[in-house]
């Protein structure tokens, strides 16, 4: 089984879905570390409840991105991490991590990339009056949501869709799709 670190910035619902899949046996991976850039984020409580070690930092406590990514890299090496799984991590990953984990960093994004990259993809889709959206799982490169696509799943956007209803639909897909794709990815490489 591969050792993975999950990177998250918020509530951690995808982190929990990954842990649930591991506990059920449908995802064969060792979740060895949570990396979180927001002290006080609910995902930290999820890690504590599941006895997962975590590294929490605030970017403002470091002189630059390279400095905090070097510190993250140290934590990853301490845990023999093989894959980085981004699950609502709201920062671009730079060459410090990319160089060490090329082809081993995966992200999930709440749109059908290349449409609506970056922050607030759900809001972007609603503002554009799109009739469909979905979920994209992709490898991470130096761009914002530009890496090679691994999998996508489409959903229809109803004419009376709200931000909350669309977010709920997308998260439901994310929680099902991400563990399945991770299992395929981790067993193929």
Please list, in sequence order, all residues whose beta carbon lies within 8 angstroms of the beta carbon of residue 49, skipping any fewer than 6 positions away. Answer: none
Token readout for 107 is 């992200």
Residues catalogued as catalytic? 109
**Contact by Cβ (8 Å): 89, 43:** no
Q: How many CB atoms lie within 10 A of CB 86?
A: 23
How many whole angstroms separate alpha carbon 49 and alpha carbon 4? Answer: 18
**Contact by Cβ (8 Å): 141, 98:** yes
| Beta strands 149-156 and 132-139, pairing class | antiparallel
Q: Classify 8 as helix, strand or coil.
A: strand
**Residue 67 preceded by cis peptide, ω within 30:** no
Q: How many CB atoms lie within 10 A of CB 45?
A: 12
């Amino acid at each position: 089984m591969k050792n993975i670190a999950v990177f998250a910035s918020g509530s951690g619902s995808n982190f929990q879905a990954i842990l649930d899949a591991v506990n059920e046996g449908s995802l064969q991976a060792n979740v060895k570390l949570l990396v979180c850039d927001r002290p006080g984020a609910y995902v930290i409580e999820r890690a504590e409840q599941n006895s997962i070690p975590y590294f929490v930092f605030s970017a403002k406590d470091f002189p630059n991105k390279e400095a905090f990514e070097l510190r993250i890299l140290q934590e990853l090496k301490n845990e023999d991490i093989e894959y980085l799984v981004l699950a609502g991590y709201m920062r671009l990953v730079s060459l410090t991590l990319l160089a060490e984990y090329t082809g081993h960093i995966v992200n999930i994004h709440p749109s059908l990339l290349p449409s609506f990259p970056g922050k607030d993809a759900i809001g972007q889709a609603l503002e554009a009056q799109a009739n469909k959206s979905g979920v994209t799982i992709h490898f991470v490169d130096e761009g914002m949501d530009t890496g090679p696509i691994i999998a996508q799943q489409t959903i229809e956007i109803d004419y009376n869709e709200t931000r909350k209803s669309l977010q709920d639909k997308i998260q439901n897909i994310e929680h099902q799709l991400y563990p399945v794709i991770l299992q395929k990815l981790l067993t193929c490489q």
